[in-house]
Chain A
């Protein structure tokens, strides 16, 4: 599936300015696609191609000295990324039961890019919730708004949006070492073990696996030289983003404060189960970030919910940058709206024959809906 996409990715990596490129023979693609049909990707292409794909994965895993885990990048609205991706995730979980598996999933536009995206996204999420250790949900509409409002790109293309998502992901996952929350020491602590520490600290409960990623600052490349960076400004904005649950730096609601008695009209603080804050740049180790450990931000039964890491190296030419990976309630709202649309389509019986053709019956849909209701309810109770 998607031979053109795979070829383009390999070619653009090989022709980019960095030295890294995809190894030859590490790609797999087929001629015909899944037709935006989750059932086709999962039941039809999954069993057929799982062995080939797992071979490729195994080859890479055996080459590594130390296997930190697997990171899968997929979209949730389509047929191949969602359906076949889910099947491969389950296969990887079977072949490597004690490794970590994290998924970086792209949540489609609210206004719709594929008509059956409601079905596809919910089916994917329900299945991944069982297999994966952590699911990072990234919204297309948030990436779009970031490009339009913060990076001043009037008509963002997919390349721009992909760049924003990639920068956010790398700012969270690049090497960093632990540091105490209050700061002030100049010694570097233990380095963050990729995936092991993230899963241990953030996805510590089997019912709570959805992570959201917030990264600051976002600005056009041309403005970087003219901006003064200060830690208090960055940390303040990041904390407010966490409090309101928004993914965008702009248009934050500053009236929502952490002490719940100050909030008006029942505006809830976005509660998190756990969070990891990574600071990069000058003075990252020394700055005081204790505002993030306010207990009002976290659910009452969490033990040591905040971990902090830092790295003195700059990230992407920003003098100072911060990113926050948190397990919080903001994802649950996305799921709720998509669920309502999926229910109305399901009640009308629309498109079900397309899925039944490949073996996903009404029963399977009902099971997935039940699991999603579980996820929703557990996040609401945070």
Chain B
């Protein structure tokens, strides 16, 4: 499936990075049909998929995790992607599964995307260890923010995050948006690849940011978005560092169209790249924490990481990964759009060719349960102040 896409990648500048034996394609796609991807292509290509995955796994010294990049609106990415998630859970249960999923935006052009997205969301809730949701709308807004800040007359690209040629030729439509998402992933794995005073491995992210097994949706935010015109001014000035921290918590820099400031933070992780010290991070965390609504059992819930190597072109950058209850608004929207279609049972017959109708109700229930759990766990005050029996020890004897 998606032979066109894969061929284009192979012919592109980074085509040599990919091992030709790893690529699996088929002529026809899934027709934006989740059931087609999950129940038809999945079992059909199971052995080939297992082979391609097992080869690099066996070459590894120590397998830590899998990164799954998919979109939830279509058929292949969501359907086959979720099938692969199940496959990884069966075959490699100890490795963590991180899914970077593109959630459909408000004005999505795929009509069956609510079905696809909700079915995938149910699967992700049950089988993934952590999900980094992205929304096209948010990425597009960030690109236009970069454009607005860049000076078209200046020949230098103002942002290395969105890739070259932003000022001149248009480039391909999704290049800049993909660039932002790619940067988020690079930042996430930077501690694994480079050294730093405070390393953060990928499994530390799950341990610290996932307090309950199903609440594993981590909002990402990046800063700085656009390299300032005078890069040298940024190097040692503390005020610029503070600016980066403030931006990471603002609404414009989130990779999803939600506002975390209005909701409760369950846990927060700040990963810094560049020549920063723990003192800068601590100072900013102290400064910003009073403005954030933290959940009652985790008032100081911050995990900090520092990697010495900065990204290309900027002296330092910051990635914020946040487990916040504002994702619930996005889930509710998805649930509503799904319900609108499902009430009339439109387009359902395409799916019923490959799967049963009960699965839809099950998925809807799963997502409903997830929304309920988020709202319940994310209360700022303890729900019932009970008197607990505390262990007393033996000293009274």
Contact = CB atoms under 8 A, between A and B. Distances in A.
B61 A31 contact: yes
Contacts of A343: 388, 390
B354 interface: no
Q: Interface residues of A toward B: which range? A: 35 or more
Given A343-B390, A350-B297, A374-B394, A35 B206 contact: yes
Contacts of A16: none
Interface string B357-396: 0000000000000000000010000100000101111110
B195 A4 contact: yes
Contacts of A350: 211-212, 297-298
B267 interface: yes
A209 B343 CA distance: 67
Contact of B298 (A37, A345, A367, A371): A345
B393 A374 contact: yes
B210 interface: yes
A223 interface: no
A5 to B, nearest CB: 8
Contacts of A228: none
B189 interface: no
B59 interface: no
A30 B303 CA distance: 23
A85 interface: no
A33 B195 contact: no
Q: Interface residues of B toward A: which range? A: 35 or more
B318 to A, nearest CB: 16
A373 B390 CA distance: 9
Interface stretch (B34-42, B171-179, B280-288): B280-288
A2 B197 CA distance: 12
A341 B279 contact: no
B207 interface: yes
A115 interface: yes
B393 A370 contact: yes
Contact of B199 (A4, A116, A154): A4
Interface string A331-372: 000000000010111011111011000000000001101111
B306 to A, nearest CB: 9
Contacts of A367: 391
Given A111-B300, A112-B302, A115-B208, A35 B391 contact: no
Contacts of B392: 370, 373
Interface string A27-45: 0001111111100000000
Contacts of B209: 115
A148 interface: yes
Nearest to A351: B211
B277 to A, nearest CB: 4
A108 to B, nearest CB: 10
A354 B207 contact: yes
A65 interface: no
B206 A111 contact: no
B221 to A, nearest CB: 18
Nearest to A30: B62
B393 A33 contact: no
Contact of A348 (B277, B297, B391, B393): B297
B303 A113 contact: yes
A201 interface: no
Contacts of B203: 32-35, 37
Given A8-B195, A115-B301, A347-B297, A370 B391 contact: yes
A31 B62 contact: yes
A373 B298 contact: no
Interface of B: 61-62, 64, 195, 197-199, 201, 203-204, 206-213, 267, 277-280, 282, 285-286, 295-304, 377, 382, 388, 390-395
Interface of A: 2, 4-5, 8, 30-37, 79, 109-116, 144, 148, 154-159, 341, 343-345, 347-351, 353-354, 366-367, 369-374, 377-378
Given A4-B195, A378-B395, 9 more contacts: A2-B199, A33-B203, A36-B207, A36-B208, A109-B282, A115-B208, A156-B279, A348-B296, A370-B391
